[in-house]
Chain A
Amino acid sequence: MRSFGQRFSAIFFILLSLALLIFGRSQTQLIDQTRAHIFNAFIPAIVVVDIPRVATAGLSDWIKRVATVFSDNEFLREENAELKTQLVTSSELVIDNLRLKNLLKIKDGTVSTITASRIVSDSNSPFFKSMLINSGSNDGVAKGHAVVNEEGVVGRTINVASNSARVLLINDINSRIPVKLAKSGVNVILAGDNSLFPKINFMPTDEIAEVGDQILTSGMGGVFPPDLPVGHVNEITSLGEIKIRTSVNLNRLNYVSVIEYEIASFPILNTPDADTKNTTEPQAGQEE
């Protein structure tokens, strides 16, 4: 009798797992929310268990920094001098760029940093590339926000709880990001394949990419602002597959920023109709 009961419950839970596996594919809101609630509840436990690792890593980092303080200082002095000269040039370019954009009436989208977050959990799996961060809807994070660090694009948020969120990395097999080749401006798609070298899809046949070519976000799709560094062409295989080395070292992530990109409205053409529309709209808003 006991054995029958056990077998029945085993069959029941096997079927339940299979059902979850099959029907969970559609990523229904209920499953998404359940997942969010569960990982949100586990974040404090993960943070506590992680304390010894963080402390050890912090100590080894400190020792490394102390050991290299003199050589680092010398290097930074040289870099600072170089950057100062570059700053003058880039300030001139910024002013030039603004002036030209004003002349062409180009409207840029707005990029706002929502929050800086710490990576608290990693999939550590060859098949799933995502991470949990310690910011959620309470900090203003929403599904589909871009996640970046100082080196470039990290990924985007796919599931958001109140105090945490899951970030799908750009090398995950489910990740597709609209990017462009910086040199030619050709729009392509960066597709993750779970390796550290995601590939380029939809490359026009008449376009040529070379090893070392820089890849930037194209801004299409509205998730990532344009011109963020994504990586550079690392290898072009014999089959013509273009492999990218990401700008961000995805194995060494500690802190990231969640950003929101708002696409600008289309430039208003200089026609009498558009001018009237432009002037009447704010007034309507004021009346409200």
Chain B
Amino acid sequence: MNLSKTQEQSHGLKAVFPFLSILFLIVIMVLPYNIPVVGDIMPYLTLIGVYYWSVFKPEMLPVAAVFVLGFIQDVLLGSPVGLMSLMLIVVQQFVFIQGRQFLERDFIFNWVIFVMLVVGFGVVYWAITSLYYREILDYFDVFGQILLTIAFYPVITGLLGLVKKVYN
């Protein structure tokens, strides 16, 4: 506990970079793109952010920060509050349970694990939302979101990698 505290303190302002980077991804997700069809299949960029930082710098992204990020995303998206917080915290805990050492390997391995994670994320997100509205919602667009998230993974992690360099 003391060790992590000193680590966080030594990073100073840099400690908030993971939080700010995911916040930026949230804002990117809610811009009015005005592109037919594509507008409905926005990739889960925040999922990529939470997964990336949970694997590479978990001490910089405490569970409270993930909760706040999920809450903000729900508010900006207009989705039920608590939904994204719940989903993102579960993802972070999944990474912790798997163990960082297991995931902190080469890029392709990480991507493959992420593919499985995002499929589960998309399905559970659809299931909870359907349950919330008590109506089976159309799942066609969820496939689009899953595929786009997988496709965006290298781009977003590449950008987050640039942010991560400040810690080296």
Q: Find out whether the CB atom of B40 lies under 8 angstroms from the CB atom of A120.
A: no
Minimum CB–CB distance from B105 to chain A (whole Å) comes to 22
Contact B4 A24, beta carbon cutoff 8 Å: no
Tell me which of B28, B37, B75, B132 contacts A35 (CB under 8 A): B75
Given contacts A9-B62, A9-B63, A49-B24, contact A19 B82 (CB under 8 A): yes
B6 to chain A: closest CB distance in Å? 13
Residues in A with CB closer than 8 Å to B37 are 251
CB contacts (< 8 Å) of B32 on chain A: these are: 50, 119-122, 131, 253-254
A57 CB within 8 Å of chain B: yes
Interface of B is mostly: helix
Least CB distance from B61 to A in Å reads 12
Q: Which of A21, A123, A131 contacts B86 (CB 8 A)?
A: A21
Measured CA separation A119–B135 after assembly (Å): 29
How many interface residues does A have (CB within 8 Å)?
Answer: 52
Bound Cα distance from A190 to B42, whole angstroms: 26
How many Å lie between the Cα of A131 and that of B82 in the bound state? 19
In chain A, positions 1-56 with a C-beta closer than 8 Å to chain B are: 1-2, 5-6, 9-10, 13-14, 16-22, 24-25, 31, 34-35, 38-39, 42, 45-46, 49-50, 53
Contact check, A130 vs B78: say whether CB atoms are below 8 A apart.
Answer: yes
Q: Is the CB of B40 within 8 A of A124?
A: yes
B39-80 contact mask (Cβ, 8 Å, vs A): 1 or 0:
111100000000000000000001110110011100111111
Select from chain B the residue with minimum beta-carbon distance to A127. Answer: B129
Cα distance A127–B126 in the bound complex, in angstroms: 8
Number of B residues contacting the other chain (C-beta, 8 Å)?
54
Alpha-carbon gap, A285 to B92, bound state (A): 65
- Given contacts A17-B70, A31-B81, A253-B32, A124 and B86 within 8 Å (CB-CB): no
Q: Which of B7-15, B109-117, B137-145 contacts A (4 or more CB under 8 A)?
A: B137-145
Residues of A within 8 A of B98 (CB): none
Alpha-carbon distance A147/B33, docked complex (angstroms):
20
Cβ–Cβ contact B33 & A125, under 8 A: no
CB-based closest 6 A-B pairs: A20-B82, A126-B141, A21-B82, A17-B86, A124-B42, A130-B78
A-B contact pairs, 16 of them (CB 8 A): A2-B4, A9-B64, A16-B85, A17-B70, A20-B85, A38-B72, A49-B31, A124-B77, A126-B41, A126-B142, A127-B133, A127-B137, A128-B79, A132-B76, A173-B137, A253-B32
- A residues with CB within 8 A of B: 1-2, 5-6, 9-10, 13-14, 16-22, 24-25, 31, 34-35, 38-39, 42, 45-46, 49-50, 53, 57, 119-128, 130-132, 166, 168, 173, 193-195, 251-254
